[in-house]
A and B are shown apart, each in its own frame.
Chain A
Amino acid sequence: MLALQILIDGFAISSLYALGATGFTLIFGVSGVLNLSHGAIMVVAAVIAWWIAGTFGVGPYLGALAGVGASLACAFFTYRVIVRPIQNSRAIPREEKEIFVLTGTLLWGIMLQEAVAYLFTNNPKTVRPLVAGVVMIFGVRTPWNEILTAALSWAVIGLLYLLVNRTRTGKSLLAAAMNPRGLTLLGFELSSIYVLVWAIYGVLAGIAGVLLGAFLGVSSDNAGTLTASAFSIVVLGGLGSVSGSLMAAYVVGYLETMTAYLVSPSIRTVPVLLLLVAVVYVRPQGLLGRR
């Protein structure tokens, strides 16, 4: 029974981790940006979904849509106002641009976090789940919302897979990740590809934020942890590798769940951090990293 419980709970949380980390790694793979405002953008999505649904009584679906819209807006803002000006700046030496982008997105993330705390307080908020109730799976009482979270996460990841592998636009994203210069020579506009990837990122982070808000609840204080979690998964999976991130999300999710069940919930993140340190030593390119 306990094994099944771990299997079910681990699967749900891992799926959500996978969705959250996919956008993060996609941005890095295509445009080389490590977006440290990632957690804050997820928080904005969850809190806006909670606020719109609760204050205006529009129901969970429109609330969720508003949350994803807010995340999309934040993603565009991050790219247009924070990332692109740094990348285009002539005052910043080329080799220092990455660190400036890191700093810029980190500060922007803190601003978003503080704005959410100021406007909505730092009390956690929970998005009303799309479905209520529980179901028994071989004797394990499982909330429908938990099943929906895992199913929606995988549906979105599946759609992303189809987009990237089966459409011309998606293939241009892959090409941009592999050889941006070559893509430019073929006549593709890199800047519009970057806009597209930030749009996809905004939707992915938004859905992940809303689902997290419905599954566990979210506070502005969680922004840093969410970024750190996505960062850990991406490093473990291999920077820029989507399939590596998916695999790492399950390693992290199950390791945390097993620790929580079998050792103590208080130290659920400790083994993951130890694993991360070990990976950095033994296999710095991560599980499926390209570099």
Chain B
Amino acid sequence: MRVSHRVGAMGAALGFALAAPSAQAADPIKIGVIAETSAISGVGIPNAAKMAAEEINKAGGVNGRMIEIVDYDDHNSAVDAVRAFQRAAQQDKVSAVIASYISEVVLALEPWAGRLKMPLITPGAASNEITKRVHDDYDHMKYVFHGYLASTQIADIVCEAAKSLMVNDLHMKTSVVMSEDAAWTIPLDEEYLKCLPTAGLKVLDHIRLSPDTTDFTPIFNKIEGDKPDVIVTGISHVGVQPTVQWQQQQVPMPMYGVSSQATNSTFWKDTNGAADGVIFNMVAAPDVAVTPKTIPFAKAYQEKYGNLPGYAAYQSYDDVFMWADAIRKAGGTDPNKMVEAMEKTDYVGTIGRVVFLPKTDTFAHGMRIGDGYITGLMVQWQNGNPITVWPGKVATGKMVFPTFTKLAQ
């Protein structure tokens, strides 16, 4: 009796051991998604990632395994994000992470990606420091990829568009830079101050405001005193309030530049239409076929979630496909092999053709920008709709400004 028990137990153990590899083969590949889900820009990251995972799974998954998105809310806190990252890597055993649109959060996660050898990509943070760290300490930081533009790259796109829209079309000559005090705007402002004059816009003043600012009246009054032709913005943590106060106070110069909150489809409603005339930067917009994937994704997102994707959602959607491709090419989830495969990425997503810059580049593991790669767009809120106004070849409308705006003659 005892012997038969032993034999039974050994048989069961043997059976379990033999069965284990096949069970493991069918295990899903987990991708962690860390974002602030109470913010519109944040919630788009897990939403879009889940859409991508569903599509990949419908098509058979990756090497026969399904993709599973494990999402964590970081409450816009670097501490919560680090805890989530540690849990994702050590407890939930994810194979890669897509994280945040806040530079401070991503900069806090970056060393942990190195320590835990966990491939990480951010779909929305912009600080130059993210890629600089990869460049400066490649062996440790090679697991980090920048799935969005670096601040300097964004400033260059804004300046290039300003030359066409503000200088050539509207004959503007002067500007004031208005940016929030944050990690991502330090390189943004540095580049603005260099590239705006080159584009033909003299910078009369450079105002950095606290992200906690609620009353922008003194700021707008100071700007008006400088008499610029245009206000060039670098705002993300703030957006609704300066826009509404700009409209209520009828500040006579256009707001143009980076305004992350304006990329959300709810911005019109949040501002009660005060957004009319605001021009902001995006890499993809719902009305422009940047690639054949852009509009179908935006439509599918709207159908599923009831509003258009915010700026980080496009990249998050693409990032899941890129991780899936990297896992496919690497033949598994070994992080070093995934990094090697990811470095060879040449993927046409919703935002354009994504190719990562080599480790020797200052923006190592950042995206290549320019014709044929990621070009960026300038979009304007017009009568409740985001209309692409630059570049001319893909623009779906011309610039229109509210009646209180006084344009340079």
The answer on a CB contact under 8 Å between A265 and B209 is yes
Residues of B within 8 A of A118 (CB): 38
The answer on a CB contact under 8 Å between B250 and A217 is no
Q: Which of B39, B214, B250, B274 contacts A222 (CB 8 A)?
A: B214
The answer on a CB contact under 8 Å between B214 and A122 is no
Interface residues as binary, A166-197 with B (CB distance below 8 Å gives 1, 0 otherwise): 00000000000000000000000000000000
The answer on a CB contact under 8 Å between A266 and B210 is yes
Find the B residue at minimum CB distance from A55.
B269
The answer on a CB contact under 8 Å between B209 and A266 is yes
Find the A residue at minimum CB distance from B213.
A265
- A219–B36 CA distance with the chains assembled, in angstroms: 15
Residues of A within 8 A of B240 (CB): 123-126, 217, 219
Q: Which of B208, B209, B215, B270 contacts A123 (CB 8 A)?
A: B270
Known: A222-B214, A261-B221. A266 touches B43 (CB 8 A): no
Does B400 sit within 8 A of A, measured CB to CB? no
Residues of B within 8 A of A219 (CB): 240
Q: Which of B38, B221, B244 contacts A121 (CB 8 A)?
A: B38
Does B248 sit within 8 A of A, measured CB to CB? yes
Does A87 sit within 8 A of B, measured CB to CB? no
Does B181 sit within 8 A of A, measured CB to CB? yes
CB distance from B255 to the nearest CB of A (A): 15
- A20–B120 CA distance with the chains assembled, in angstroms: 45
Residues of A within 8 A of B271 (CB): 126
The answer on a CB contact under 8 Å between B250 and A141 is yes
- A30–B272 CA distance with the chains assembled, in angstroms: 39
The answer on a CB contact under 8 Å between A257 and B218 is yes
Interface residues as binary, A121-137 with B (CB distance below 8 Å gives 1, 0 otherwise): 11111111100101000
Total contacting residues, chain A, CB less than 8 A = 35
Interface residues of A in 233-291 (CB under 8 A from B): 257, 260-261, 265-268
The answer on a CB contact under 8 Å between A124 and B218 is no
Interface residues of B in 17-70 (CB under 8 A from A): 36, 38-40, 43
The answer on a CB contact under 8 Å between A13 and B241 is no
Residues of B within 8 A of A69 (CB): none
Residues of B within 8 A of A132 (CB): 248
- A110–B272 CA distance with the chains assembled, in angstroms: 27
Residues of A within 8 A of B209 (CB): 265-266
- A225–B214 CA distance with the chains assembled, in angstroms: 11
The answer on a CB contact under 8 Å between B269 and A54 is yes
Q: Which of B217, B248, B261 contacts A9 (CB 8 A)?
A: B217
The answer on a CB contact under 8 Å between A134 and B249 is yes
The answer on a CB contact under 8 Å between B272 and A13 is no
- A132–B404 CA distance with the chains assembled, in angstroms: 13
Known: A121-B38, A265-B210. A126 touches B244 (CB 8 A): yes
Find the B residue at minimum CB distance from A222.
B214
Interface residues of B in 97-115 (CB under 8 A from A): none
Q: Which of B212, B214, B272 contacts A128 (CB 8 A)?
A: B272
Does A117 sit within 8 A of B, measured CB to CB? yes
Does A145 sit within 8 A of B, measured CB to CB? yes
- A113–B260 CA distance with the chains assembled, in angstroms: 23
Known: A54-B269, A134-B249, A265-B218. A124 touches B241 (CB 8 A): yes
CB distance from B168 to the nearest CB of A (A): 30
The answer on a CB contact under 8 Å between B215 and A126 is no
Give 18 CB contacts A-B under 8 Å: A5-B221, A118-B38, A122-B39, A123-B40, A123-B240, A125-B240, A126-B240, A126-B274, A127-B272, A128-B272, A141-B249, A145-B248, A216-B241, A217-B240, A217-B245, A265-B210, A265-B219, A266-B209
Given contacts A54-B272, A123-B266, A260-B217, 10 further A-B contacts (CB under 8 A): A54-B269, A121-B38, A121-B40, A129-B248, A132-B248, A143-B248, A216-B215, A220-B38, A266-B208, A267-B210
